[in-house]
Amino acid sequence: MPHFVIDYSAELEHRVNPRELISQTFRAAVQCELFNEPAVKVRARSFAYHQSGGGHKDFVNVTIHLLAGRTAEQKKDLTHRVLDQLQALDIRDVSLTVQIYDMETESYAKAVN
């Protein structure tokens, strides 16, 4: 924990390598100093079919799943760090969004087999 899930429009793969999206997101997670580096998990998935409003605009959306307990200021800092790292990729004409979902400790289970 935490889990960073990057959703993006498949068409973006012609302009940016998904590994770069993962790398930049991971960098932001480590820079915020809220997590131990080995605990950070980042994954990406593309969407070939999507619609935003009345059009078809490329997008990158990062959803961060955190165990509850971070302050509003810490969460704000984290979302802005991730957004800044994505903007550093200099992808034009794309919607970039980042949001955090708090999870209660009781609602999270983990097993490594």
Whose CA is closest to 4, among 74, 75, 66? 66
Q: pLDDT tens digits for 36-70?
A: 999 999 999 999 999 888 777 899 999 999 998 99
Residue 112: is its pLDDT beyond 90? no
Locate 81 and state its tokens. 């760090």
What is the overall mean pLDDT for the chain?
94
Which domains does the chain possess?
Answer: 3-107 (3.30.429.10)
DSSP letter string over 71-105? -HHHHHHHHHHHHHHHHTT---S-EEEEEEEEE-G
Q: What does residue 78 show for φ and ψ, rounded to 5 degrees? A: -65, -50
Confidence band of 20 (pLDDT split at 50, 70, 90):
very high
Check residue 34 and give its pLDDT.
94
Check residue 84 and give its pLDDT.
97
Ramachandran bin of 92, using left for φ above 0, alpha for ψ from -120 to 50, beta for the remaining angles:
beta
Distance CA 108, CA 85 (A): 28
pTM of the model: 0.92
